[in-house]
Amino acid sequence: MKKIVVTGGLGFIGSNLIKLLLSKNYYVINIDKVSYSSNFYNVKEFKGSKKYKFVKADLNNKSKILKVLNKYRPQALLNLAAETHVDRSIDGPEIFIKNNILAIFNLLQTFRKHILKNNNCKLIHISTDEVYGDVLYGRSKENDAYKPSSPYAASKASSDHLVYSYIRTYKLPAIITNCSNNYGPRQHPEKLIPKLIYNILNNKSLPIYGKGINSREWIYVDDHCEALIRVLRKGKIGNFYNIGSNLNLNNLEICRNLIKIAKNRIKLGKNVKIKFVKDRPGHDLRYALDSSKIIKNLKWKPKVSVLKGLEKTFNWYLENPDYYLKLKKIDITKRLGNKFR
């Protein structure tokens, strides 16, 4: 049985990826340091699986990470451990430097040592479309210049550059992926879609930044995870792969679609109304990826439409109210990203 290490596996994408890997008969070692966005509810359904192992560890703890890698000798390490919320990076960028840059440096150093004993292992570093910055026209390709706008995006861009430097300098067997905006089950409600769903379910207003015209390319998390497994199996070492749905919706469109979906499932409270709030500082207007490389070379394509994905996502939160019990309420409700206004 092939073994895979997933870092950040108590989080949103990581836990969904683990679920998919287990269904494909991989043995998965989940390394997570357990931060505010980690949620053991995300892994409860496979907690007792004989193919699953959880290890609490920080990527900055090089000796512990090396011990885990040497013990299990995985086929690959998929790195999803990261600070991910733009608003948090605006309020406090230091933790993003520590966990998105320094931690990746330490992981790379550890991985270099590990492959001396296990040269069949490869690293897949998962990143974001935000590294490309505003894309007012067209779509970002893998060889386009990085123009990050937020401390979060800059920290992810830095980590991408570090990984690629180790590929070029040390011949590290690694691949980098950049994905568009994910949504789906198990996502922390500090992010737009689960925040809106939480507020709908709790009869609260629906906050939309600025005029709601900021556009994102939305991809259902299962489609992203399928793409990552395709990269794991078929991806070429040293390459970048963009992963997107090729479909953009702005925040206002997302909100209005969720209201329509909710009306078919529950009775809306009187406070469930769109509320425009002060915009995020430096808010990028549009992200969009050109994913033709992975579609052509690795024969992957997204399967879930945005409307179907939104329905599946709303239903999951509606049917899993205990998910919220594992989170601090302040992390769900507090407005971030405006500390320095």
**DSSP character for 215?**
E
Q: How confident is the model at residue 334 (pLDDT cuts 50, 70, 90)?
A: confident
Q: Residue 127 corresponds to which amino acid?
A: S
pLDDT of residue 328: 81
Judged by average pLDDT, the poorest of 100-104, 230-234, 310-314, 329-333 is: 329-333
Q: Backbone dihedral region of 299: left (phi > 0), alpha (psi from -120 to 50 degrees) or beta?
A: left
Closest CA to 15 of 320, 272, 330: 320
Given a contact cutoff of 8 angstroms between Cβ atoms, the answer to whether 106 and 114 are in contact is no
For residues 204-212, average pLDDT: 97
Q: Is 190 a catalytic residue?
A: no
Which residue is catalytic, options 26, 152, 183, 209? 152
Backbone angles phi, psi at 289, to 5 degrees: -110, 145
Which residue is catalytic, options 130, 142, 190, 284? 130
For residues 9-19, average pLDDT: 98
- Residue 325's Cβ-count burial label (10 Å; 0-12, 13-18, 19+) is exposed
Q: Is 130 a catalytic residue?
A: yes
Closest CA to 255 of 193, 202, 188, 201: 193
pLDDT of residue 287: 98
For residues 298-323, average pLDDT: 97
Task: Give residue-wise pLDDT tens across range 52-111.
Answer: 999 999 999 999 999 999 999 999 999 999 999 999 999 999 999 999 999 999 999 999
Given a contact cutoff of 8 angstroms between Cβ atoms, the answer to whether 322 and 265 are in contact is no
List all residues 6 or more positions away from 227 whose beta carbon is below 8 Å from its beta carbon.
Answer: 177, 179, 241, 243, 294, 298, 300, 302
Is a pLDDT exceeding 70 seen at residue 341?
A: no
Task: Give residue-wise pLDDT tens across range 113-172.
Answer: 999 989 999 999 999 999 999 999 999 999 999 999 999 999 999 999 999 999 999 999
Give the pair of three-digit tokens for residue 164: 């690629």
Given a contact cutoff of 8 angstroms between Cβ atoms, the answer to whether 18 and 32 are in contact is no
- pTM exceeds 0.95 for this model: yes
For residues 2-28, average pLDDT: 98
Q: How confident is the model at residue 339 (pLDDT cuts 50, 70, 90)?
A: low
Q: How confident is the model at residue 327 (pLDDT cuts 50, 70, 90)?
A: confident
Q: Is 226 a catalytic residue?
A: no
CA distances from 67 to 203, 227, 328 (A): 48, 29, 32
> What domains lie within the chain, and their CATH numbers?
3-187+219-246+285-304 (3.40.50.720)
Bridge partners, 320 (sequence order): none
pLDDT of residue 340: 54
pLDDT of residue 47: 87
Q: How confident is the model at residue 300 (pLDDT cuts 50, 70, 90)?
A: very high
Write out the H or E segment, with its range, that includes residue 94: helix 94-97
CA dihedral 279, 284, 286, 291 (to 10 degrees): -140
pLDDT of residue 263: 98
Q: Backbone dihedral region of 127: left (phi > 0), alpha (psi from -120 to 50 degrees) or beta?
A: beta
Given a contact cutoff of 8 angstroms between Cβ atoms, the answer to whether 140 and 242 are in contact is yes
Is a pLDDT exceeding 80 seen at residue 331?
A: no
pLDDT of residue 260: 98
pLDDT of residue 155: 98
List all residues 6 or more positions away from 332 whose beta carbon is below 8 Å from its beta carbon.
Answer: 189, 190, 195, 198, 324
Which residue is catalytic, options 32, 58, 129, 223? 129
Is a pLDDT exceeding 90 seen at residue 289?
A: yes
Task: Give residue-wise pLDDT tens across range 171-195.
Answer: 999 999 999 999 999 999 999 999 9
Give strand ranges (E) for the chain: 3-7, 27-32, 52-56, 76-79, 122-128, 174-179, 181-183, 206-209, 215-220, 240-243, 248-250, 274-277
Is a pLDDT exceeding 90 seen at residue 338?
A: no
